[in-house]
Amino acid sequence: MNIHEYQAKALLRSYGAPVSDGRVVLRAEEAKTAAGEMDGPLWVVKAQIHAGGRGKGSFKEADAGEKGGVRLAKSVEEAAEEAKKMLGRTLVTHQTGPAGKTVNRIYIEDGSGIETELYLALLVDRGTSRISFVCSTEGGMDIEEVAASTPEKILSFAVDPVTGYQPYHGRRIAFALGLSGAQVKQCVKLMGQLYQCFVEKDMEMLEINPLIVTDSGDLKCLDAKMGFDGNAIYRHPDIAELRDETEEDPKELAASKYDLNYIALDGEIGCMVNGAGLAMATMDIIKLYGSEPANFLDVGGGATKEKVTEAFKIITSDPQVKGILVNIFGGIMRCDVIAEGVVAAVKEVGLQVPLVVRLEGTNVEKGKEIINSSGLNVIAAENLRDGAEKIVAAVKG
Ligand code: ADP
Ligand code: MG
């Protein structure tokens, strides 16, 4: 689960980390008062969406002005004016995709004088099974670009969970970032605060880009992105409260309401599978036969007819889906329950695309009979390979 920059900064502030003063604004009329609560002489007006690259992004609507999603203002009036131009408009960045995201919240922040922009992140490194600090002197810009063209400029430091964060981690990071004097001390303290926050709140990712050295020589977190482990959210009601459902994929949101393991992808073949391993194998084999999956979906072992119906509806609601592959190996899950769910869903929402069904395992005969007697236009498959071949052929043909 992700949160907005202003929420992440409030959390950082509560851990003592240096961030700028700022106010969040939901309606244009509030912008002037909010900006007026800060002294200036520089205000920064920042669109709040769950995507990076806002500064270099652009708006779809002409009346939003030429500038991106992070704008400098030299007066309270100008700050309010820029906030008004962005609210309700659609911001497109390299992370939003071409559809962009509607800006419903604006963060007005004290402007900082910047000496240098650095990159810093904490993440769970699956390779080492440890929390790692990742840092670079090349902050502010596209870190993916730095990783591609000059990977030697990105350094990473793993923390042993037995010792936890130690001051020497902070010193190493400080030297890697080219800091000196009092900044080293500040860095050691800040890295400790970030590590503590990361661990206590069960984060998956914390990115500060840029971490800056101000014109007075101090460290400051100028941007903040946080991702939390969805499976641990129940332990953090304060974090759960920060969820902004308008930022989430509507299909994934609907799936989460029915407790379905669904991830939207870019391909054209919708998949309904039971078991995460089989779902992965199904996506692989679709690729092997020359197409791309539109989603990952594991309906789980104990799915009911209602749950299957919902899952099928979510798949068909995706305009990118050109064909559907139902691949069930019934163990705990019964094939007849899946068949009933599919038939019920098609009766409700219709079927505009080819549907291939492969059923195997518990109650398979009953399941096949339900499908066969339903009158649905279903292509039956014998096994996983046959299913993949048939759905790819149906979509391509
Ligand atoms: P994004 O990464 O989504 O583009 P950032 O918050 O990193 O958004 O802002 C982009 C750039 O805008 C920063 O690299 C920095 O140069 C500038 N910026 C952001 N916040 C401030 C601020 N409070 N004061 C001065 N400059 C800022
Ligand atoms: Mg940034």
Domain boundary at 76, 110, 144, which? 110
Atom of ligand 1 nearest to the CA of 110: 23
Q: Rounded to two decimals, what is the model's pTM?
A: 0.85
Domain annotation covers residue 12: no
Query: 84 and 205: one domain?
Result: no
Query: 101 and 61: one domain?
Result: yes
Query: 260 and 128: one domain?
Result: no
How many whole angstroms separate alpha carbon 156 and alpha carbon 30? 42
Pocket test for ligand 1, best of 43, 70, 94 (most atoms within 8 A of CB): 70
Domain annotation covers residue 292: yes
Query: 103 and 33: one domain?
Result: yes
- Please spell the DSSP secondary structure of 225-292, one letter per residue: EEEE-GGGGGG-HHHHTT--GGGS-HHHHHHHHTT-EEEE-SSSEEEEESSHHHHHHHHHHHHHTT--
Domain annotation covers residue 125: yes
Domain annotation covers residue 301: yes
The domain that holds 185 is classified in CATH as: 3.30.470.20
Domain boundary at 54, 78, 110, which? 110
Q: Are strands 70-73 and 106-110 parallel, antiparallel or unpaired?
A: unpaired
pLDDT of residue 241: 97
pLDDT of residue 265: 93
Cα 13 to averaged position of ligand 2 atoms, centre (Å):
18
Ligand 1 pocket, 210 CB below 6 A? yes
How many whole angstroms separate alpha carbon 124 and alpha carbon 264? 23
CB 298 within 8 A of CB 279: yes
The domain that holds 255 is classified in CATH as: 3.40.50.261
How many whole angstroms separate alpha carbon 72 and alpha carbon 109? 10
Q: What is the mean pLDDT of residues 80-91?
A: 96
Query: 282 and 392: one domain?
Result: yes
Cα 269 to averaged position of ligand 2 atoms, centre (Å):
34
Query: 85 and 104: one domain?
Result: yes
Domain annotation covers residue 277: yes
Which of 158, 116, 113, 150 shows the shortest CA–CA distance to 134?
158
Ligand 1 pocket, 223 CB below 6 A? yes
pLDDT of residue 306: 86
Q: Are strands 323-330 and 269-273 parallel, antiparallel or unpaired?
A: parallel
pLDDT of residue 327: 93
pLDDT in tens, 193-225: 999 999 999 999 999 999 999 999 999 999 999
Range of the domain at 49: 21-110
Active site residues: 119, 207
pLDDT in tens, 306-335: 888 889 999 999 999 999 999 998 888 889
> What separation in angstroms does the CA of 333 have from each of 149, 274, 299, 301, 339?
48, 7, 9, 5, 11
CB atoms within 10 A of CB 171: 16
Those residues whose C-beta lies under 8 Å from the C-beta of residue 124, and which sit 6 or more positions away, are 130, 131, 132, 204, 205
| Residue positions forming the annotated binding site for substrate | 274, 331-333
| Residue positions forming the annotated binding site for Mg(2+) | 209, 223
Ligand 1 pocket, 9 CB below 6 A? no
Query: Residue for token digits 């990159």?
Result: 119
Ligand 1 pocket, 70 CB below 6 A? yes
pLDDT of residue 256: 86
Atom of ligand 1 nearest to the CA of 117: 14
Domain annotation covers residue 245: no
pLDDT in tens, 368-391: 999 999 988 889 898 999 999 999
pLDDT of residue 104: 96
Domain count, the chain: 3
Which of 245, 248, 163 shows the shortest CA–CA distance to 199?
163
Query: 140 and 99: one domain?
Result: no
Domain boundary at 73, 91, 110, which? 110
Query: 128 and 81: one domain?
Result: no
| Residue positions forming the annotated binding site | 46, 53-55, 109, 112, 117, 209, 223, 274, 331-333
The domain that holds 102 is classified in CATH as: 3.30.1490.20
Tokens (6 digits) for 167: 């001051």
Query: 101 and 123: one domain?
Result: no
Ligand 1 pocket, 117 CB below 6 A? yes
User: Residue 165 burial by CB count (10 A; 0-12/13-18/19+): exposed, middle or buried?
Assistant: buried
Query: 273 and 232: one domain?
Result: no
State yes or no: pLDDT of 301 exceeds 80. no
Ligand 1 pocket, 367 CB below 6 A? no
**Sheet with strand 106-110: strands edge to edge:** 22-25, 106-110, 43-47, 70-73
Cα 53 to averaged position of ligand 2 atoms, centre (Å):
6
Ligand 1 pocket, 138 CB below 6 A? no
Residue nearest to atom 14 of ligand 1 (CA): 140
Q: By mean pLDDT, which of 51-65, 123-137, 339-353 is the weakest?
A: 339-353
Query: 378 and 258: one domain?
Result: yes
Domain annotation covers residue 207: yes
pLDDT of residue 29: 92
pLDDT of residue 210: 97
Cα 27 to averaged position of ligand 2 atoms, centre (Å):
24
User: Which runs of E-coded beta strand occur in the chain?
Assistant: 22-25, 43-47, 58-59, 70-73, 90-92, 101-102, 106-110, 114-125, 130-136, 154-159, 203-214, 219-221, 225-228, 261-264, 269-273, 295-298, 323-330, 355-361, 378-380
Domain annotation covers residue 302: yes
Query: 274 and 202: one domain?
Result: no
State yes or no: pLDDT of 302 exceeds 80. no
User: In angstroms, how far is the first alpha carbon of the chain from the final one?
Assistant: 39
pLDDT of residue 376: 87
Cα 151 to averaged position of ligand 1 atoms, centre (Å):
23
